[in-house]
């Protein structure tokens, strides 16, 4: 399989997110986000919620080094850059006041992309809620969905003349489940009411935000992204099936179906009925987002063993879902390329989304620099096998027309800190030197980029 076989209309990009790369947490009037707060939190033992105790205070310093990053993207041969806007740079407290300097920064980033022949693909929300909104309940408060709608309008009006491709949310699953139920992500809540409330409010914000962005822009290509997984149930006979269906409802369907007017799939997971407490009259009648594409993000399949929990029947887990010897990444995530084909088929089957774009995919491995080179054959194998699935899906008639590698460069990997390395480019955090990995050269060679091992 050669990348050229995907044809000229296929979009090749790399992805990043503001908090994972920018650093400069106080620059130019930025307000604090929930990730600034969360990474600096300490428990009574002095430990932070981040595995290696690091923060995004510096990350890859890309707030200052964006031009260097964009030059790398060009040299790697990619024609699109997916990055996110930090909401508290634009609205320091999340409401009303707009910080011009924040918008100006992103205008410069966008102009730099355009000057290098790279299409900017802009995500409005990649998890860094302004702390000011968290102080009034964050996503558990319905007002936050209204504030997000205002923010969508503001950025649409300010940047819509230069940006064609937009995504509202990055992976609501992680905002809602990791942030409000499991608590390993900001804001670190662990409660069922917080889970139900944030689920509905993020879904509402997706719908309302899509309409606001549409009205503030003209000719825009608007999408939103979802973390998707083909859950595979475990357990005896029909119970395995029950576990898989319930996991599918909670992990995938509860985020996709409400925003396309299909309501919540509580018949498959009775637990989801808890969300009814937050649904107001009329909400479900008008809940259809105005989307041109769905961003599909796939890393691994989650295991969903049967557990006798009424209304849930399973608690999905990372880790090998299949045979014990299934290959995994350095994070223990099972490498299962067929899963990408499965989630693409599942989204196509809704017969709702005009197009699908793989807006993230990638793998972390224990990369090492040896004589100035990073040999990462496992990552090249990961991309080849997953791209073969995309090609096969296209053959089956699934309208998927883009692929974004996660990530341009190693960066701050949320609760796991700086240890996981997902980049096509290695980051030396001591010096902020960027070293192109073999996987980066692999793309460059096929996409016509100029980067070659020196
Ligand atoms: C995705 C996130 C992205 C990054 C990758 C590894 O779930 O969207 O920010 O953390 O995982």
In this predicted structure, the answer to whether residue 405 has a pLDDT above a threshold of 90 is: yes
Q: How far is residue 73's CA from residue 440's CA, in Å, rounded to a whole number?
A: 10
- What pLDDT is attached to residue 93? 98
In a domain, 94, yes or no: yes
Q: How far is residue 425's CA from residue 142's CA, in Å, rounded to a whole number?
A: 40
In this predicted structure, the answer to whether residue 48 has a pLDDT above a threshold of 70 is: yes
User: Does the CB atom of residue 422 touch ligand 1 within 6 A?
Assistant: yes
- Bridge partners (DSSP) listed for residue 452: none
pLDDT digits (tens, 9 = 90+) for 199-210: 999 999 999 999
Neighbours of 157 (CB within 10 A): 15
Atom of ligand 1 nearest to the CA of 17: 9
pLDDT digits (tens, 9 = 90+) for 1-38: 799 999 999 999 999 999 999 999 999 999 999 999 99
Testing ligand 1's pocket by substitution, the residue of 59, 174, 225 carrying the most ligand atoms inside 8 A of its CB is: 174
Q: How far is CA 370 from the centre of its chain?
A: 31
In a domain, 247, yes or no: yes
In a domain, 114, yes or no: yes
In this predicted structure, the answer to whether residue 322 has a pLDDT above a threshold of 60 is: no
For residue 90, name the pLDDT band (cuts at 50, 70, 90).
Answer: very high
For residue 454, name the pLDDT band (cuts at 50, 70, 90).
Answer: confident
Atom of ligand 1 nearest to the CA of 362: 6
For residue 409, name the pLDDT band (cuts at 50, 70, 90).
Answer: very high
- What pLDDT is attached to residue 1? 78
171 catalytic residue (yes or no)? yes
User: Does the CB atom of residue 228 touch ligand 1 within 6 A?
Assistant: no
In a domain, 198, yes or no: yes
- What pLDDT is attached to residue 323? 59
360 catalytic residue (yes or no)? yes
User: How many structural domains comprise the chain?
Assistant: 1
Q: Which structural domain, as residue segments, surrounds residue 241?
A: 3-447
- What pLDDT is attached to residue 4? 96
| Distance (Å) from CA 423 to ligand 1 centroid | 12
In a domain, 379, yes or no: yes
- What pLDDT is attached to residue 69? 98
In a domain, 452, yes or no: no
**High-pLDDT (> 70) share of the chain, %:** 99
User: Does the CB atom of residue 170 touch ligand 1 within 6 A?
Assistant: yes
From first CA to last CA, the distance across the chain in angstroms is: 26
| Distance (Å) from CA 429 to ligand 1 centroid | 19
User: Does the CB atom of residue 360 touch ligand 1 within 6 A?
Assistant: yes
Q: What is the mean pLDDT of the chain?
A: 97
In a domain, 28, yes or no: yes
CATH assignment at residue 349: 3.20.20.80
In a domain, 453, yes or no: no
Task: Give the active site residue among 268, 360, 389, 413.
Answer: 360
């Amino acid at each position: 399989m050669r990348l050229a076989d995907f044809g000229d209309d296929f979009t090749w990009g790399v992805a990043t997110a503001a908090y994972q790369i920018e650093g400069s947490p106080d620059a130019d009037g930025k307000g604090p986000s929930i990730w600034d707060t969360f990474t600096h939190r300490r428990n009574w033992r002095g430990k932070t919620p981040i595995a290696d105790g690091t923060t995004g205070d510096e990350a890859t310093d890309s707030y200052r080094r964006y031009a260097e990053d964009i030059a790398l993207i060009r040299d790697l041969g990619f024609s699109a850059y997916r990055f996110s806007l930090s909401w508290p740079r634009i609205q320091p407290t999340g409401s009303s006041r707009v910080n011009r300097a924040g918008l100006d920064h992103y205008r410069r980033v966008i102009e730099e992309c355009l000057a290098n022949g790279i299409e900017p693909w802009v995500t409005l929300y990649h998890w860094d809620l302004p702390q000011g909104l968290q102080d009034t309940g964050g996503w558990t408060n319905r007002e936050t969905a209204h504030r997000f709608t205002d923010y969508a309008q503001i950025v649409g009006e300010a940047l819509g003349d230069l940006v064609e491709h937009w995504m509202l949310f990055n992976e609501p699953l992680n905002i809602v489940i990791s942030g409000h139920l499991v608590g390993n992500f900001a804001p670190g809540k662990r409660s069922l009411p917080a889970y139900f409330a944030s689920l509905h409010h993020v879904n509402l914000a997706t719908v309302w935000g899509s309409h606001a962005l549409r009205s503030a822009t003209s000719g825009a290509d608007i999408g939103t992204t979802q973390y998707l997984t083909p859950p595979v149930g475990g357990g005896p006979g029909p119970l395995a099936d029950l576990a898989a269906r319930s996991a599918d409802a909670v992990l995938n369907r509860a985020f996709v179906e409400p925003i396309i007017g299909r309501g919540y799939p509580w018949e498959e997971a009775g637990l989801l009925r808890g969300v009814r407490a937050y649904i107001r009259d009329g909400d479900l009648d008008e809940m259809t987002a105005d989307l041109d594409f769905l961003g599909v993000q796939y890393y691994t399949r989650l295991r969903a063993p049967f557990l006798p929990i009424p209304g849930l029947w399973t608690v999905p887990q990372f880790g090998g879902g299949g045979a014990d010897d299934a290959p995994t990444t350095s994070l223990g995530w099972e490498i299962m390329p067929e899963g990408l084909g499965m989630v693409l088929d599942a989204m196509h089957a809704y017969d709702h989304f005009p197009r699908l774009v793989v807006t993230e995919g990638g793998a972390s491995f224990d990369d090492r620099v040896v004589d100035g080179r990073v040999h990462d054959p496992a990552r090249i194998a990961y991309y080849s096998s997953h791209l073969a699935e995309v090609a096969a899906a296209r053959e089956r008639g699934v309208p998927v027309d883009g692929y974004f590698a996660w990530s341009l460069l190693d960066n701050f990997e949320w609760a796991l800190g700086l240890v996981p390395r997902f980049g096509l480019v290695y980051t030396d955090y001591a010096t902020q030197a960027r070293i192109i990995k073999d996987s980066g050269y692999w793309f460059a060679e096929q996409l016509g980029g100029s980067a070659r091992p020196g």
